[in-house]
Amino acid sequence: MADHAAREPDALGAAALEAGRRLFAQECRFATAASDAAALPAATLPEVAFAGRSNVGKSSLINALAGRTGLARVSKTPGRTQQINFFELGGRLMLVDLPGYGFAAAPPALAAAWSRLVEGYFRGRAALRRALLLIDARLGLKDSDRAAMGMLDRAAVPYQIVLTKADKVRETALGGVRDAVAGEAARHPAAHPAIMGVSAHSGAGLPELRAALAALAQPASENQP
């Protein structure tokens, strides 16, 4: 398996990695949840949204980044989470766990409800600094992922693709997936050019992702460690 599965194309410096470590050493707590657009909370901090297919590992990744096992609930049943969950990190950043898409057995009404909820969140959310579009490294881009990319383009939401479960793929195969995904992302105006790879299980790529998110967070106050 790939020991260096999550190496970012543009290497991050030690200062950036340390900033990410310090941010995610802060307390991360559940703040609130919204099951419809009308229930979305007022934006008080910069936000980063985690989007992706059902069972791509959104909740597992949030738990791993925060160093917590039960912060975001992980379900083995695809399509179980049907609300937006907000997690406050150290008073500096809000991590937003979006419901998964692309569950084949989901009835049309459920898919439509997902679209209304997520589009309602993306529309005019000034505090949203970036969406992380999670893609299973073993599967690559699926049509539902491409539809999500189109939605983010239309909403003018900057997003970065993150390949999850990178420890399950050999490094050479991961490189091929990364190149293929980068080629498609280059045709999308809202997509960030750097494709990251991570593993919530092995920890690969988590320091680099923490560093990238720290750059989007509210600056630390002088009394924060």
Residue 3 lies in a domain: no
Where is pLDDT greater, at 54 or 115?
Answer: 54
pLDDT, residue 9, reads 39
Q: Which tens digit of pLDDT belongs to each residue from 17-49?
A: 999 999 999 999 999 999 888 889 999 999 999
Backbone phi and psi for residue 203, each to the nearest 5 degrees, phi listed first: 90, 0
Residue 94 lies in a domain: yes
Residue 86 lies in a domain: yes
Q: Which tens digit of pLDDT belongs to each residue from 48-86?
A: 999 999 889 999 999 999 998 878 765 444 445 578 999
Task: Please give the angle made by the CA atoms of 106, 166 and 9, to the nearest 5 degrees.
Answer: 120
Span 178-201, mean pLDDT? 96
Residue 7 lies in a domain: no
pLDDT, residue 202, reads 95
Number of domains in the chain: 1
Residue 21 lies in a domain: yes
* DSSP type of residue 95: E
- Beta carbons within 8 Å of 50's beta carbon, 6+ residues apart: 58, 61, 62, 95, 96, 97, 98, 131, 132, 134
pLDDT over 50 (residue 2)? no
Residue 200 lies in a domain: yes
pLDDT over 80 (residue 157)? yes
pLDDT over 90 (residue 146)? yes
Q: Which tens digit of pLDDT belongs to each residue from 160-181?
A: 999 999 999 999 999 999 999 9
Calculate the average pLDDT of the chain.
87
Q: Read off the tokens for 56.
A: 């791509």
What CA–CA distance (Å, rounded) separates 200 from 217?
21
Span 98-124, mean pLDDT? 77
Residue 167 lies in a domain: yes
Residue 126 lies in a domain: yes
pLDDT, residue 36, reads 84
Q: Quote the domain boundaries for residue 200.
A: 14-214
| Domain CATH number, residue 159 | 3.40.50.300
Q: Read off the tokens for 170.
A: 């050999």
